[in-house]
Amino acid sequence: MKRNFGVRYLRRIGGEDFLLTVSDAPVDTYGTGSGKHIDPGGERTAMKTYSSAAAFERERRITIVCPICGGAAVRPHFSVPGGSFVRCAGCGLVYQNPQPVFDDLKGRYAQAYCDYEIENEDNFFELMRLGLRDIGFDESFFTNVPGKTFLDVGCATGKLLDVMQHLGFRVQGVEICAESARYGMAKRRIPVFIGPLEEAGFPDGSFSFVHFSHLIEHVPDPYSFLREVKRVLAPNGYAIITTPNIAGLQARLFRSLWRSAIPDHLFLFSKRTLPRLLERAGLEVLRLVTWGGLAVGTAPAWIKNRIDAAAKRMGFGDVMLVLATARGKTGVTAPVMDGGGRFEATG
């Protein structure tokens, strides 16, 4: 009954069509991003995050076990066009199973994806900036840290890297969408490796920061990915991870209609499951924040503002950001945080 409250509420305030409006109008949780979802039939459905218009039926699929606990026992969670999500009976992780093989998955990230990234790069950058500020990671910090190296995995068109470069970082991008990477390299003169992080072959301890925003939910083997993140992190380096929160208010209210319940998302993490996977990969969680209470247009502004504030304060926001560090590496080459959650430069 609780589960259907959100749907009933939206129908009441917006009519039956609200949830599945076929429209190009921007509708998005934070008023950013196009909010377009392209389904296999080619219709654009508002409310959902962009997902590729893959020929799902032609993709080869494999069944996987849980990357956190290794369990194979699952219960159905929900299905969306192009993907079925299950919930691990052992640890509660929600993931697509079976899921597309990587060679077929890569085909989803092509020109249409690049166009979406270009169209939304200012919005995405602003969200990243606000998220980074929430963990005490802002421009005043950047300008005071010497010897900075910053890797952005899933860097898209490279806007964040461009800013970091101007703040004195040595930057590197990794991007699986060749069109987006080439756009970023041509426009911004930043180095971008085209392909998955595991194939880039960066030397051990190369980066003081490894940032990946809205990436890990797309990665077929997030455990191996995080092991690689740890390997390329400098001693005391930081991983900064942003991903949708399936334990947030919106996910609980909307279930399969949740904006992040899309076929391009292979894993849907929560405040409980993401830290478990990070710990398993040898990364220690230092901070976790969430934000985003209600989607734009679902409530009067004064209600939305209050729920957004409560979501951030109480941790039921729609998106979470985790700051983690590479445990077990020695030496001091990256800045450390003081007790107040701020960063300080060290020798």
Q: From the CB of 136, what's the least distance to Zn ion, in Å?
A: 32
Asked if 334 is part of the footprint of Zn ion (rule: CB under 5 A), the reply reads no
**Cα(246)–Cα(271) distance, integer angstroms:** 8
Asked if 90 is part of the footprint of Zn ion (rule: CB under 5 A), the reply reads yes
Asked if 20 is part of the footprint of Zn ion (rule: CB under 5 A), the reply reads no
Candidate segments 27-35, 70-78, 189-197, 246-254, binder of Zn ion by CB under 5 A: 70-78
Mask 92-131, x = binds Zn ion (CB under 5 A)? -x--------------------------------------
CA 232 to each of CA 206, 248, 278, 325: distance values in angstroms, whole numbers, following the listed order: 5, 31, 15, 12
Q: From the CB of 67, what's the least distance to Zn ion, in Å?
A: 8
**Cα(177)–Cα(7) distance, integer angstroms:** 35
Asked if 26 is part of the footprint of Zn ion (rule: CB under 5 A), the reply reads no
Which two structure tokens, joined as six digits, stand for 309?
């504030």
Mask 271-310, x = binds Zn ion (CB under 5 A)? ----------------------------------------
Asked if 88 is part of the footprint of Zn ion (rule: CB under 5 A), the reply reads yes
Q: How many residues in total does the chain contain?
A: 347
Would you say 30 or 223 has its CB closer to Zn ion? 223
Could you tell me which of 65, 53, 64, 120 has the C-alpha nearest to residue 90?
65
Backbone φ, ψ for residue 225 (5° rounding)? -60, -45
CA 336 to each of CA 131, 293, 325, 341, 347: distance values in angstroms, whole numbers, following the listed order: 19, 31, 10, 10, 10
Which two structure tokens, joined as six digits, stand for 39?
């389904």
Candidate segments 25-33, 43-51, 88-96, 223-231, binder of Zn ion by CB under 5 A: 88-96
Asked if 68 is part of the footprint of Zn ion (rule: CB under 5 A), the reply reads yes
The upper half-sphere exposure of residue 281, i.e. CA atoms within 13 Å in the direction of its Cβ, equals: 27
Residue choice 66, 192, 257, 307 for contact with Zn ion (CB under 5 A)? 66
Contact residues: Zn ion, CB under 5 A: 66, 68-69, 71, 88, 90-91, 93
